[in-house]
Amino acid sequence: MDFQNTQFKLAALKSEATMAKAFDNQCVEQHLKNELDTTTASMAKYLLMDLQGKVMDECLQLFGGYGFMNEYPIARLYRDARVQRIYGGTNEIMKVLISRTL
């Protein structure tokens, strides 16, 4: 946190994560009321998993070469973030489902 570049990157990521959390909370609320439709659920999976990948990629970049060493938690988080965009329906499938309602 001593470096301005790191501060700026983390501030931007926190801002995006906060917006994503608001959307996620809205989706959870709709789900609990049995009001969550397929399109909104697809948007949530696509956008949130894509953002998770972006955040982990940026954080891994801050760690440099250490980011790929299994001794550091960021390596596991990066791998986990990548697979999120695949299972449960790829992001491309989510886009197809969303585009059907346009």
Residue 36: which H helix or E strand, with range? none
Q: Counting beta carbons within 10 angstroms of the beta carbon of residue 42, is it exposed (0 to 12), middle (13 to 18) or buried (19 or more)? A: buried
- pLDDT, average across residues 34-53: 96
pLDDT for residue 85 is more than 90? no
Count of structural domains within the chain: 1
What pTM was computed for the model? Answer: 0.87
Residue 11 lies in domain? 4-99
CATH number at residue 20: 1.20.140.10
Q: What is the pLDDT of residues 9-21, one digit of tens each?
A: 999 999 999 999 9
C-alpha span between 54 and 17 (Å, rounded)? 10
Output the CA–CA distances (angstroms, integers) from residue 90 to 42, 46, 95, 96, in the order listed. Answer: 10, 8, 9, 10
What confidence category does residue 88 fall into, taking pLDDT thresholds of 50, 70 and 90?
confident
